[in-house]
Amino acid sequence: MSSCRVSRKEFILPRCTKACPAGIDVPRYIRAVRDGHYDEAIAVVREKIPFPTVCADACFAPCEDACAYQQVGEPIAIRALKRAAVDKGGDSWKARKKLIQPTGKKVAIVGAGPAGLTAAYYLQSLGHAATVYDGFPKPGGMLRYGIPRYRLPEERLEKDIRHILELGVTFRANTLVGKDIRLEALAKESDAVFISSGANSGARIPLEGADKKGFLWGWEFLTDVARGRAPQIGNEVVVIGGGNVALDVALTAKRLGAKSVRIVCLEAREEMLAHPWEIALAEEEGITIQNAWAPKRVLGKEKVEGLALKRCVSTLDDACNFDPVYDDEITDRISADTIIAAIGQTPVLDFVESLPGVKKNRQRVTS
């Protein structure tokens, strides 16, 4: 039996780095911030993601949930340290960034959200010409058109996006792949195509009365607000959903002037998918959360007047699959002049079928 020596650092991964979806070397940038080397800290973050400012402002900080310091007290304020680096640092990291000479290769990227722009950033750094196509007038995807401004100010987002475009990335605005240009055409004129269109539509549920005036869908609501086309809402707003998007919708409605905002969700309080700190923020701002209730039908003739509810007994089956069970004998009614359903997002992938060998299977692209 043979053996070999392996360096300890090769197989021990800090909890915070392991918890980070991008795998950022958290201890290394914390040490850089401690020493006042803010540009170095930003460079460490950029090894994995080109959005240090976005990450500092809008990340839910799973690294803090996993922080080893919780064994002796509160976790380190990792996200706040990243924000300190972003706010105090400059652009000297650019001088140290290595750029490979152009390879002559071209990559077409469908979608200018975080995935598409990240791909463009690293592809361009490797010398490949990246062109990003998006149906919106500005790049950013959900970062710009989904995350409310109170969580991620637009000028902060622009800071990260500007650095990406300055590398030479080409952005094609207001260009819907599948409508304005076919995916097949992109494949012919490019060496590779990267599809990152994301979950670019609000999920729908069959709900009686959802066609009434005053009923909105969460993703479209947030997008319209971000584009300066906020829909008119009433004084009594009910939001359907228990995730982070539902909380964003509720808090946005409150900021648009709604006097009463109520969230109705299937889950019990401890089962809600939204982060506890965001739930606490919503309640601090006067938003009511009604747990374990499901929408039954929208009340009113032509316009929303309220929502009929039925009791949700459970949301998961014995195998922990989503399979809600209702008790139709236990009902309730709440008044509302605006109802916004924020129950998730779903991708629109019809355009992929124009490319031979590429198909869609439910919400995924397959070949």
Specify whether 126 is located in the same domain as 85. Answer: no
Q: What is the CATH number of the domain that holds 67?
A: 1.10.1060.10
* Average pLDDT value for residue range 329-340: 95
Proportion of the chain above pLDDT 70, given as a percent: 95
Is residue 1 situated within a structural domain? no
**Is the Cβ–Cβ distance between 248 and 151 less than 8 Å?**
yes
Specify whether 219 is located in the same domain as 182. Answer: no
Is residue 28 situated within a structural domain? yes
Specify whether 106 is located in the same domain as 163. Answer: yes
Specify whether 187 is located in the same domain as 133. Answer: yes
The yes-or-no verdict on residue 315 having pLDDT over 80 is yes
Confidence of residue 353 (pLDDT cuts 50, 70, 90): confident
* Average pLDDT value for residue range 219-240: 95
User: Per-residue b/e over 89-104, b at no fewer than 16 CB within 10 Å?
Assistant: beeebeeeeeeeeeee
The yes-or-no verdict on residue 348 having pLDDT over 80 is yes
Is residue 20 situated within a structural domain? yes
Q: How many domains does the chain have?
A: 3
* Average pLDDT value for residue range 200-213: 91
The yes-or-no verdict on residue 233 having pLDDT over 90 is yes
The yes-or-no verdict on residue 6 having pLDDT over 60 is no
State residue 2's pLDDT score.
60
Is residue 2 situated within a structural domain? no
Q: What is the CATH number of the domain that holds 302?
A: 3.50.50.60
Specify whether 253 is located in the same domain as 312. Answer: yes
Proportion of the chain above pLDDT 90, given as a percent: 79
Ranges 61-75, 224-238, 251-265, 299-313: which has the least confidence = 61-75
The yes-or-no verdict on residue 37 having pLDDT over 80 is yes
Catalogue the E-assigned strands of 14-169.
106-110, 129-133
Domain boundary among 95, 116, 138: 95
Q: Considering the chain, what is the average pLDDT of its residues?
A: 91
State residue 362's pLDDT score.
66
Closest Cα to residue 249, out of 274, 271, 284, 267? 274
What is the arrangement of strands in the sheet containing 260-264, beginning at the earlier edge strand? 215-217, 338-341, 236-240, 260-264, 288-290
Residue 10 vs residues 7, 20, 46, 201: alpha-carbon distances, Å: 5, 18, 21, 42
Closest Cα to residue 116, out of 169, 174, 54, 157? 169
Specify whether 112 is located in the same domain as 178. Answer: yes
State residue 257's pLDDT score.
95
Please give the model's pTM, rounded to 2 decimal places: 0.89
Confidence of residue 3 (pLDDT cuts 50, 70, 90): low
325: Cβ contacts below 8 Å, ≥ 6 apart: 312, 313, 314
* Average pLDDT value for residue range 316-342: 93
Specify whether 212 is located in the same domain as 307. Answer: yes
Specify whether 272 is located in the same domain as 319. Answer: yes
Confidence of residue 246 (pLDDT cuts 50, 70, 90): very high
Dihedral class, residue 114 (left if φ above 0, else alpha if ψ from -120 to 50, else beta)? alpha
Is residue 3 situated within a structural domain? no
The yes-or-no verdict on residue 366 having pLDDT over 90 is no
Is residue 54 situated within a structural domain? yes
The yes-or-no verdict on residue 8 having pLDDT over 70 is no
* Average pLDDT value for residue range 298-327: 93
State residue 367's pLDDT score.
65
The yes-or-no verdict on residue 5 having pLDDT over 80 is no
The yes-or-no verdict on residue 299 having pLDDT over 70 is yes
For residue range 87-139, what is the model confidence (pLDDT) as tens digits?
Answer: 999 888 888 788 889 999 999 999 999 999 999 999 999 999 999 999 999 99
State residue 95's pLDDT score.
81
For residue range 150-185, what is the model confidence (pLDDT) as tens digits?
Answer: 999 999 999 999 999 999 999 999 999 989 999 999
- Residue 325, domain extent: 202-345
Specify whether 334 is located in the same domain as 317. Answer: yes
The yes-or-no verdict on residue 1 having pLDDT over 60 is no
